[in-house]
C-alpha cells in the first residue's frame, strides 16, 4: 500500500513538473512572438516615418537643389559653411572671417552654401537652434538670408537660456528689411522647421560633427582665418 502511494506521489510530481515546463515554454514563445511583432512594426514605422519626413520638408527660395543649404554668389569656388546660430565659436568665426567671405562673394570669386544646422538644441530651453534655423528660412523667403544670418550672430543669446523669442526674431527680421507680418506668420506656422531637420540630418550624414565647419570645394579647412580662406579659394579657382 505504501509502495503504491509512493508511486502515485512520484507520478504526481512528474506531472506537475511537465505542466510547469509546458507553461514556461508557452510563455517563452509568446514573448518571442511579441518581440518579433514589435521589431517588424518598428521597422515598418521607421520606414514610413522616414519616407514621409523626406517628402514633406519645404525648402526656402535660394536653397540648393537637394535642400541642404541656402546658396548665394556665383564664383568658381564653393565655400560650404556649416554653422549653428547659438554656437559661440560660429559667432567668433563670423566676426573674424565673415567679412572676407562676403568680399570673396562680392568679387565673384566664391559661391557660398550656408547650412544652418540645429545641433545645439540641448543648449537652450526652447530649441533655439531649430527655431533660429527655421527663421533663417523665413528670411530667405523674403530675400534677406545673408543680412538676417549676420544679425542673428550679432544678437546671439547665451547658451543655457531660452534664446531669442519669436517676437525678438521678428524684430531682427524687420530690422534687416523683412515684412514683419509675413515673417511672423512664417515663424508661427513653422514653415521651415522640417527643412531645418533635413539640413541637420544631411549634414550629419555627410560627416559634419561640429560647428563651425568650413569647406572649400569639398575640402575641410583647418585654417579658418581670413588669410586661410582667401588662399583656399584662390587655389580652388585655378
Question: Which 3 state secondary structure label does DSSP give 227?
Answer: helix
Same domain, 44 and 94: no
Same domain, 85 and 199: yes
Predicted confidence at residue 90, as pLDDT, reads 98
Same domain, 112 and 209: yes
Give the residue among 235, 218, 229 at the shortest CA–CA distance from 100: 229
- Alpha-helix residue ranges (DSSP H) falling in 57-122: 88-106
Range with the poorest average pLDDT among 21-30, 51-60, 203-212 = 21-30
Contact, 116 vs 85, CB < 8 A?
Answer: yes
Query: Residue 112: which CATH number?
Result: 3.40.30.10
For strand 110-116 and strand 77-83, is the pairing parallel, antiparallel, or unpaired? parallel
Give the domain range for residue 29: 1-56
Give the residue among 160, 107, 170 at the shortest CA–CA distance from 135: 170
Residue 167 — pLDDT band, cuts 50, 70, 90? very high
Segment 41-46 shows an average pLDDT of: 40
Segment 197-213 shows an average pLDDT of: 97
Same domain, 36 and 99: no
CA-to-CA dists, residue 17 to 9, 28, 106, angstroms: 12, 16, 85
Radius of gyration of the chain (CA): 29
Cβ-based neighbour number of residue 95 at 10 Å: 11
Peptide bond into 26 cis (omega under 30): no
Residue 65 resides in a domain: no
Same domain, 216 and 103: yes
Residue 63 resides in a domain: no
Predicted confidence at residue 10, as pLDDT, reads 53
Residue 225 resides in a domain: yes
Range with the poorest average pLDDT among 7-16, 159-168, 223-232 = 7-16
Residue 56 — pLDDT band, cuts 50, 70, 90? confident
Same domain, 154 and 184: yes
Res 6 pLDDT > 80: no
Predicted confidence at residue 98, as pLDDT, reads 97
Res 139 pLDDT > 60: yes
Same domain, 30 and 89: no
Count of domains observed in the chain: 2
Same domain, 123 and 215: yes
Same domain, 44 and 103: no
Q: Which residues are CB-neighbours of 158 under 8 A, at least 6 positions away?
A: none
Segment 149-164 shows an average pLDDT of: 96
Last residue of a domain, one of 56, 80, 97: 56
Residue 64 resides in a domain: no
Residue 61 resides in a domain: no
pLDDT tens-digit series, residues 23-37: 766 665 555 444 343
CA-to-CA dists, residue 219 to 163, 213, 230, angstroms: 32, 10, 14
Q: What is d(CA 109, CA 223) in angstroms, rounded to the nearest whole number? A: 19
CA-to-CA dists, residue 52 to 45, 186, 191, 194, angstroms: 10, 22, 16, 11
Same domain, 197 and 158: yes
Rounded mean pLDDT of the chain? 86
Predicted confidence at residue 49, as pLDDT, reads 33
Res 114 pLDDT > 60: yes
pLDDT tens-digit series, residues 170-190: 999 999 999 999 999 999 999
Same domain, 52 and 163: no
Same domain, 171 and 91: yes
Task: Give, for 128, the enclosing helix (H) or strand (E).
Answer: helix 128-141
Amino acid at each position: 500500500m505504501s509502495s503504491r502511494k509512493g508511486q502515485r506521489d512520484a507520478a504526481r510530481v512528474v506531472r506537475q513538473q511537465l505542466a510547469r515546463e509546458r507553461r514556461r515554454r508557452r510563455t517563452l514563445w509568446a514573448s518571442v512572438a511579441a518581440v518579433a511583432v514589435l521589431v517588424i512594426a518598428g521597422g515598418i514605422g521607421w520606414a514610413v516615418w522616414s519616407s514621409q519626413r523626406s517628402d514633406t520638408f519645404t525648402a526656402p527660395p535660394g536653397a540648393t537643389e537637394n535642400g541642404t543649404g541656402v546658396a548665394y554668389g556665383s564664383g568658381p569656388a564653393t565655400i560650404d559653411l556649416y554653422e549653428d546660430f547659438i554656437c559661440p565659436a560660429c559667432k567668433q568665426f563670423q566676426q573674424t572671417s565673415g567679412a572676407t567671405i562676403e568680399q570673396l562673394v562680392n568679387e565673384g570669386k566664391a559661391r557660398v552654401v550656408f547650412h544652418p544646422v540645429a545641433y545645439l538644441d540641448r543648449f537652450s530651453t526652447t530649441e533655439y537652434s531649430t527655431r533660429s534655423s527655421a527663421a533663417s528660412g523665413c528670411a530667405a523667403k523674403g530675400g534677406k538670408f545673408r543680412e538676417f544670418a549676420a544679425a542673428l550672430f550679432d544678437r546671439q543669446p547665451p547658451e543655457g537660456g531660452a534664446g531669442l523669442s519669436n517676437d525678438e526674431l521678428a524684430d531682427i527680421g524687420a530690422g534687416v528689411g523683412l515684412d514683419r507680418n509675413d515673417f511672423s506668420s512664417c515663424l508661427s506656422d513653422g514653415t521651415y522647421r522640417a527643412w531645418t531637420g533635413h539640413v541637420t540630418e544631411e549634414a550629419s550624414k555627410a560627416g559634419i560633427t561640429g560647428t563651425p565647419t568650413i569647406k572649400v570645394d569639398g575640402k575641410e579647412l583647418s585654417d579658418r582665418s581670413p588669410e586661410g580662406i582667401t588662399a583656399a579659394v584662390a587655389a580652388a579657382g585655378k
